[in-house]
Structure 1
Amino acid sequence: MKIKERALEVLAPIMPFLSFVGQAFKEWNDDKALRLAAALAFYSVFSMAPLLVIGIAVAGLVFGEAAVQGQVVGELEEFVGLDAAKFIEEMLRGVRINETGLGATLVSLGTMLFGALAIFAALQDALNMIWRVQANPDKGILYTIKRRLLAFSMVLFFGLLLMGSLLVGSIIAVVETYFAYLITTPVWLWRLGDSVVWLIFFTAVFGAMYKVLPDVKMAWRDVWVGAAMTSVLFGLGKFAISTYLGRSGVGSVFGAAGTLAVILVWIYYSWVIVLFGAELTQVWARRVGSGIAPGPGAVVRPKYEREDPHEEMKGAAPAE
């Protein structure tokens, strides 16, 4: 009995945190997040090529398409390995806008945009499920079009994201090169600084994702807390997934389809992390923050309509 009491005393300072994570995990499981991640991974495979082509085209306006594509493939190699990165590079070479005429060009553009929109539309629906809301069934087709236009804006945002990642990478490289001539700095310190910069960058990315895509009103301060937690998880997960893919031999099990299997596994576990981060964000907002309220054109999911309204709507979370 004394051992149990002693253990409770030791754990007492972190019990609120453990309770918070436990609640997030429970709701993550209740929302069938693994199934949602699998659906998102499926959409991602078919959206990946057109999305990268559009993103590279946007970032290429500043850096040049060849340079951007080379950088993207290089970054992907760190995540999924050389073979999978080459596979994606071949996909990009096979996806080109048809320039044989205006009609064919418009068809090619439309096909690519439709493919790129699919992943953001699916992500929007997945986040709505986690945030306990759904589109109001009484709203007409115009509201649906508005939501899809929002997803379209995220396609353009992806291009700006690529541009931002290249800028961040370039700045880090310049700073490292400059200071290498001035002072002798341990390698681990540069890696730590590099990790902190990318942590800030991905916090901004996840913050935009959690704020813009779901049909909810939530305070920015709650969004940033959740985005920061997700960014840390994503950084740790990136290392874990890369290590797993490098040592597990997943690709060899599937033979000729091994490269695609590696890409699917990487995408799937990445979405698992992002959705758990979303769950942490919404639990934080409801338990600690300003609360969550359905946005214009959205309603609380029927499963949660009878819950304590003070927990679900507390603080009437501001839109800003």
Structure 2
Amino acid sequence: MASLRKARRLIKATVAEWQEQEVSLLASALAYSTVFSLAPLMILVIMLLGMFFGETTAREQIVSQLDDLVGDDGADLLATAITNLRDQANEGPLQLILNLGFFLFGASSVFAGIQNSLDRIWDVKPEPGRHVFHFLRKRLLSAAMILAIAFLLLVSSVANTLLAAATASLNEWLPAMGSLWQILSWVISFVVIAAVFAAIYTVLPDADIHWQDTLIGAMLTAGLFMIGQWLFGIFLDLVDIGSGYGVAGSFLVIITWIFYAAVVLFTGAVFTKVYARRYGLPIIPSDFAVSTVEDRPERCPED
């Protein structure tokens, strides 16, 4: 009973904090900006993964992942944008350099927006008077996140490829083991997604947070993300938006999914904040940041 009361209080406090931080507005702003940065981000990830698999294979893997997230129409729309931008980058050395700069700036803008929102949720902000330093630091951290995500996608792709090969071989002798391999695939996906969220919560904000609190929040966020992915897939199977709205329908699917992912990301951040204040260690500003609240107690009372 005591555990149920704690869980109920934790959920109640998370909902109250969620409303106070206006998470839906933060998610809407991030979804809008991400739409314009998604193709450059995907191109950079494809280029990085292409160093290991070849660019064609990397592109096919990314498009396959997008198909799982936003359906055939949304994936086709993004694949077309990626192809068009990538073809422009092959026009010459100068054009390549300019496009790489554009890709990096556009892709890093997504993580810069995430950082600003996480700073707000966790009641921190950059130290005043260090605007240039903070801008450069933010862009470098964003570039590091792109590399980290590319690495995790590489690990996930290799693991799933090996698992698929093992499944194909073992199914000839143990057909009943197919469900086990599917579960292992889900576990791998969960671990990779949780690692991405943990990296975002740890690296991007101008705050220091204990790794155990981060891990708990990242696991919750990964669970919500995968549940939403599953439900969104069912919705796309039942409703053919593309046939009724064409390209506009594909765009609607993409921005709706991005909005949900942003809501999940920031909900996990709110939960992490509430959990850390109640049961973990307080979230404090980093060396180059200050708190936006005064006299904040280290832990909230247990009610």
TM-score (norm 2): 0.91
Do structure 1's residue 127 and structure 2's residue 118 form an aligned pair? yes
Residue 235 of structure 2: which of 224, 241, 244 is its match?
A: 244
The residue that corresponds to 1:8 in the other structure is: none
Give the count of matched residue pairs. 299
Matched, 1:77 2:60: no
- Of all paired residues, the percent bearing the same amino acid is 32
Indicate the larger mover: 250-259 or 230-239.
Answer: 250-259
**Structure 1 unpaired stretches of 5+:** 1-10, 313-320
In 1, Cα distance between equivalents of 2:186 and 2:91: 45
Query: Matched residues in 1 for 2:97 and 2:258: separation?
Result: 30
Which residues of 2 match residues 7-22 of structure 1 at below 5 A?
13-22=3-12
Within a 5 Å distance, the mapping from 1:260-271 to structure 2 comes to: 260-271=251-262
Q: Summarize the Cα distance change of 1:115–1:137 in structure 2 as closer, same or farther, 3 Å threshold.
A: same
Match of 1:305 in 2: 294
In structure 2, how many angstroms separate the alpha carbons of the residues matched to 1:252 and 1:14? 46
* CA separation of 1:102 and 1:72: change in aligned 2, threshold 3 A: closer
* 1:60 corresponding residue in structure 2: 50
* Paired AA for residue 14 in structure 2: A
* 2:187 aligned partner, one-letter code: V
Assess if the C-alpha contact under 8 Å between 2:171 and 2:177 holds in 1. Answer: no
| Structure 1 residues 195-240: Cα deviation after superposition (integer angstroms, max 9, x where no partner) | 1221112111111111111111111111111111111111111112
Cα distance change, pair 189–226 in 1 and its aligned pair in 2 (3 A)? same
Alpha-carbon distance in structure 1 between the residues aligned to 2:104 and 2:261: 23
Mark the CA change 1:256 to 1:221 in structure 2 (over 3 Å): closer, same or farther. Answer: closer
Tell me if the contact between 2:207 and 2:284 (Cα under 8 Å) persists in the aligned partners: yes
- Contact 2:77-2:247 at 8 Å conserved across structures: no
Check the 8 A contact 1:59/1:163 in 2, yes or no: yes
1:47 matches 2:37: yes
Give 1:179 shift: 2.4
1:114 matched residue in structure 2: 105
Query: Of 169, 193, 196, which residue of structure 2 is paired with 1:178?
Result: 169
Larger-Rg structure: 1
d(CA) in 1 for partners of 2:152 and 2:119?
A: 23
Residue ranges of structure 2 left out of the alignment (5+ in a row): none
Aligned residues: CA RMSD: 2.0
Alignment of 1:206 with 2:203, yes or no, is: no
Aligned to 2:28: 38
Whether 1:225 aligns to 2:216 is yes
C-alpha displacement of 1:25: 1.7
- 32-41 vs 101-110, which moves further: 101-110
Q: Which stretch has the larger CA shift, 266-275 or 136-145?
A: 136-145
- Is the CA contact 1:120–1:151 (under 8 Å) kept in the aligned structure 2? yes
Aligned-pair CA distance for 1:33: 0.7
Distance 1:256 1:51, change over 3 A: closer
State how far apart, in whole Å, the 1-side matches of 2:287 and 2:65 are.
39
SS in 2 for 1:134: strand
Using a 3 Å threshold, how does the CA distance of structure 1 residues 100 and 193 change in structure 2: closer, same or farther? closer
Structure 1 residues 176 and 26 mapped into 2: Cα distance closer, same or farther (>3 Å)?
same
Provide closer, same or farther for how the CA distance between residues 179 and 87 of structure 1 changes in structure 2, counting only shifts above 3 A. same
Q: What's the counterpart of residue 139 of structure 1?
A: 130
**Residue pair 1:56, 1:162 contacting (<8 A) in 2 also:** no
Per-residue CA shift, 1:232-268, capped at 9, x if unaligned?
1111111122223443555566454111111111111
Shift of 1:73: 1.1
TM-score by length of 1: 0.87
